[in-house]
Amino acid sequence: MKRFMVLLILIAASVSAGAATPVILVFGDSISAGYGIDHAAAQGWVALLQTKLKIEGYGYQVVNASVSGETTAGGLARLPRALQLHRPRIVILELGGNDGLRALPVGQMRDNLARMVELSTAAGARVVLLGMRIPPNYGPEFTEQFRLAFSEVARDKKLPLIPFVLNDIAMNPRLMQADGFHPNELGQPKLLDNVWPTLRPILRK
Protein backbone atom coordinates (compact mmCIF):
# COMPACT_ATOMS: atom_id res chain seq x y z
CA MET A 1 0.00 0.00 0.00
CA LYS A 2 2.83 2.36 0.91
CA ARG A 3 4.58 1.68 -2.39
CA PHE A 4 1.31 2.32 -4.24
CA MET A 5 0.89 5.70 -2.51
CA VAL A 6 4.44 6.71 -3.40
CA LEU A 7 3.75 5.82 -7.02
CA LEU A 8 0.61 7.97 -7.03
CA ILE A 9 2.57 10.92 -5.61
CA LEU A 10 5.25 10.56 -8.29
CA ILE A 11 2.64 10.40 -11.05
CA ALA A 12 0.86 13.46 -9.66
CA ALA A 13 4.14 15.38 -9.48
CA SER A 14 4.96 14.44 -13.05
CA VAL A 15 1.55 15.59 -14.31
CA SER A 16 1.87 18.83 -12.35
CA ALA A 17 5.33 19.51 -13.78
CA GLY A 18 4.13 18.82 -17.30
CA ALA A 19 1.17 21.17 -16.84
CA ALA A 20 3.29 23.99 -15.38
CA THR A 21 3.56 27.18 -17.38
CA PRO A 22 6.79 27.08 -19.43
CA VAL A 23 9.34 29.72 -18.52
CA ILE A 24 11.39 32.11 -20.64
CA LEU A 25 14.41 33.18 -18.59
CA VAL A 26 15.88 36.54 -19.57
CA PHE A 27 19.43 36.51 -18.27
CA GLY A 28 21.17 39.78 -18.87
CA ASP A 29 22.57 43.04 -17.58
CA SER A 30 21.25 46.60 -17.28
CA ILE A 31 19.85 46.56 -20.82
CA SER A 32 17.34 43.91 -19.76
CA ALA A 33 17.08 44.98 -16.11
CA GLY A 34 15.57 48.31 -17.20
CA TYR A 35 18.31 50.53 -15.82
CA GLY A 36 17.24 54.18 -15.52
CA ILE A 37 13.57 53.51 -16.27
CA ASP A 38 11.20 54.63 -13.52
CA HIS A 39 8.72 51.82 -14.09
CA ALA A 40 10.96 49.09 -15.51
CA ALA A 41 8.70 46.31 -14.20
CA ALA A 42 5.96 47.56 -16.51
CA GLN A 43 7.77 49.49 -19.24
CA GLY A 44 11.01 47.58 -19.80
CA TRP A 45 11.30 45.41 -22.88
CA VAL A 46 11.10 42.23 -20.79
CA ALA A 47 7.76 43.33 -19.32
CA LEU A 48 6.56 44.25 -22.81
CA LEU A 49 7.55 40.76 -23.95
CA GLN A 50 5.34 39.19 -21.30
CA THR A 51 2.42 41.34 -22.46
CA LYS A 52 3.01 40.47 -26.12
CA LEU A 53 3.15 36.75 -25.36
CA LYS A 54 -0.17 36.95 -23.56
CA ILE A 55 -1.85 38.95 -26.32
CA GLU A 56 -0.65 36.56 -29.02
CA GLY A 57 -1.69 33.47 -27.09
CA TYR A 58 1.70 32.10 -26.07
CA GLY A 59 1.44 30.53 -22.63
CA TYR A 60 4.82 31.49 -21.22
CA GLN A 61 5.89 33.05 -17.96
CA VAL A 62 8.80 35.46 -18.40
CA VAL A 63 11.32 35.56 -15.55
CA ASN A 64 13.76 38.46 -15.60
CA ALA A 65 16.99 37.45 -13.85
CA SER A 66 18.99 40.39 -15.22
CA VAL A 67 21.38 42.37 -13.01
CA SER A 68 22.71 45.82 -13.82
CA GLY A 69 26.49 45.83 -14.14
CA GLU A 70 26.69 42.07 -14.66
CA THR A 71 29.62 40.59 -16.58
CA THR A 72 29.72 37.20 -18.24
CA ALA A 73 31.81 35.89 -15.33
CA GLY A 74 29.16 37.01 -12.87
CA GLY A 75 26.42 35.57 -15.03
CA LEU A 76 28.20 32.24 -15.29
CA ALA A 77 28.42 32.09 -11.49
CA ARG A 78 24.70 32.84 -11.10
CA LEU A 79 23.28 30.75 -13.92
CA PRO A 80 23.25 27.25 -12.39
CA ARG A 81 21.04 28.44 -9.54
CA ALA A 82 18.71 30.27 -11.91
CA LEU A 83 18.35 27.20 -14.12
CA GLN A 84 17.65 24.99 -11.13
CA LEU A 85 15.10 27.42 -9.70
CA HIS A 86 13.16 28.30 -12.85
CA ARG A 87 13.72 25.31 -15.16
CA PRO A 88 13.27 27.45 -18.28
CA ARG A 89 12.27 26.18 -21.69
CA ILE A 90 13.99 29.16 -23.34
CA VAL A 91 16.93 31.27 -22.15
CA ILE A 92 17.48 34.72 -23.66
CA LEU A 93 21.14 35.43 -22.97
CA GLU A 94 22.02 39.13 -22.99
CA LEU A 95 25.47 39.53 -21.46
CA GLY A 96 28.85 40.78 -22.58
CA GLY A 97 28.36 44.52 -22.82
CA ASN A 98 30.00 45.19 -19.46
CA ASP A 99 32.92 42.93 -20.37
CA GLY A 100 33.51 45.11 -23.40
CA LEU A 101 33.15 48.41 -21.58
CA ARG A 102 35.68 47.21 -18.98
CA ALA A 103 38.00 45.96 -21.74
CA LEU A 104 38.03 42.47 -20.25
CA PRO A 105 39.65 39.76 -22.41
CA VAL A 106 37.40 38.87 -25.33
CA GLY A 107 38.46 35.22 -25.23
CA GLN A 108 37.35 34.98 -21.63
CA MET A 109 34.00 36.55 -22.47
CA ARG A 110 33.51 34.16 -25.37
CA ASP A 111 34.32 31.15 -23.18
CA ASN A 112 31.91 32.35 -20.48
CA LEU A 113 29.11 32.78 -23.01
CA ALA A 114 29.77 29.35 -24.48
CA ARG A 115 29.71 27.76 -21.04
CA MET A 116 26.40 29.46 -20.20
CA VAL A 117 24.95 28.11 -23.42
CA GLU A 118 26.17 24.61 -22.54
CA LEU A 119 24.65 24.78 -19.07
CA SER A 120 21.34 26.03 -20.46
CA THR A 121 21.06 23.37 -23.15
CA ALA A 122 22.06 20.66 -20.67
CA ALA A 123 19.14 21.84 -18.54
CA GLY A 124 16.80 21.37 -21.50
CA ALA A 125 16.49 24.99 -22.63
CA ARG A 126 16.77 26.58 -26.04
CA VAL A 127 19.04 29.62 -26.09
CA VAL A 128 18.69 32.89 -27.98
CA LEU A 129 21.89 34.96 -27.91
CA LEU A 130 21.67 38.75 -27.98
CA GLY A 131 24.78 40.37 -29.39
CA MET A 132 26.21 43.71 -28.35
CA ARG A 133 28.61 46.28 -29.82
CA ILE A 134 30.99 48.69 -28.10
CA PRO A 135 32.10 52.23 -29.05
CA PRO A 136 35.00 52.49 -31.52
CA ASN A 137 37.22 54.35 -29.03
CA TYR A 138 38.39 50.97 -27.69
CA GLY A 139 40.38 50.54 -30.89
CA PRO A 140 39.43 48.78 -34.12
CA GLU A 141 41.01 45.42 -33.28
CA PHE A 142 39.35 45.03 -29.87
CA THR A 143 36.04 46.36 -31.18
CA GLU A 144 36.00 43.85 -34.03
CA GLN A 145 37.05 40.92 -31.84
CA PHE A 146 34.26 41.82 -29.43
CA ARG A 147 31.68 41.94 -32.23
CA LEU A 148 32.79 38.62 -33.67
CA ALA A 149 32.70 36.80 -30.32
CA PHE A 150 28.90 36.63 -30.34
CA SER A 151 28.67 35.29 -33.88
CA GLU A 152 31.39 32.73 -33.12
CA VAL A 153 29.51 31.40 -30.09
CA ALA A 154 26.26 31.32 -32.06
CA ARG A 155 27.95 29.47 -34.93
CA ASP A 156 29.74 26.96 -32.73
CA LYS A 157 26.67 26.24 -30.58
CA LYS A 158 24.17 26.53 -33.46
CA LEU A 159 22.12 29.24 -31.79
CA PRO A 160 19.76 31.90 -33.09
CA LEU A 161 21.61 35.21 -32.80
CA ILE A 162 20.52 38.83 -32.78
CA PRO A 163 23.81 40.46 -33.87
CA PHE A 164 23.16 43.81 -32.16
CA VAL A 165 20.20 44.09 -29.83
CA LEU A 166 20.41 47.90 -29.85
CA ASN A 167 20.25 48.12 -33.64
CA ASP A 168 18.45 51.32 -34.74
CA ILE A 169 18.36 52.42 -31.09
CA ALA A 170 21.93 53.16 -29.99
CA MET A 171 22.52 55.97 -32.48
CA ASN A 172 19.11 57.62 -31.99
CA PRO A 173 19.22 60.18 -29.14
CA ARG A 174 15.42 60.16 -28.97
CA LEU A 175 15.52 56.50 -27.89
CA MET A 176 18.51 56.66 -25.55
CA GLN A 177 19.11 57.95 -22.04
CA ALA A 178 21.53 60.81 -21.46
CA ASP A 179 24.35 58.36 -20.62
CA GLY A 180 24.36 57.17 -24.22
CA PHE A 181 24.41 53.50 -23.18
CA HIS A 182 20.87 52.63 -22.10
CA PRO A 183 17.58 52.86 -24.01
CA ASN A 184 14.93 55.08 -22.48
CA GLU A 185 11.20 54.34 -22.23
CA LEU A 186 10.74 55.11 -25.93
CA GLY A 187 13.50 52.67 -26.83
CA GLN A 188 12.02 49.71 -24.96
CA PRO A 189 9.37 48.76 -27.57
CA LYS A 190 12.07 48.93 -30.24
CA LEU A 191 14.23 46.58 -28.17
CA LEU A 192 11.37 44.10 -28.17
CA ASP A 193 10.94 44.60 -31.91
CA ASN A 194 14.59 43.62 -32.34
CA VAL A 195 14.20 40.46 -30.27
CA TRP A 196 10.78 39.22 -31.38
CA PRO A 197 11.46 38.03 -34.96
CA THR A 198 14.26 35.75 -33.72
CA LEU A 199 12.41 34.54 -30.63
CA ARG A 200 9.03 33.85 -32.22
CA PRO A 201 10.01 30.83 -34.38
CA ILE A 202 11.05 28.81 -31.33
CA LEU A 203 7.90 29.55 -29.29
CA ARG A 204 5.10 27.02 -28.93
CA LYS A 205 1.47 27.90 -28.38
Could you give the residue numbers annotated as active site? 30, 179, 182
* CA 19 to chain CA mean position, Å: 24
* CA dist., res. 62 & res. 138, Å (int): 35
Which residues, listed in sequence order, are joined to residue 203 by a DSSP beta bridge? none
- Around Cβ 58, how many Cβ atoms within 10 Å? 17
Assign 3-state DSSP to the chain and report helix, strand, coil percentages, each to 5: 55, 10, 35
* CA 171 to chain CA mean position, Å: 22
Q: Are 129 and 93 in contact (CB under 8 A)?
A: yes
CB neighbour list of residue 191: distance below 8 Å, 6 or more residues apart: 31, 45, 165, 166, 169, 183
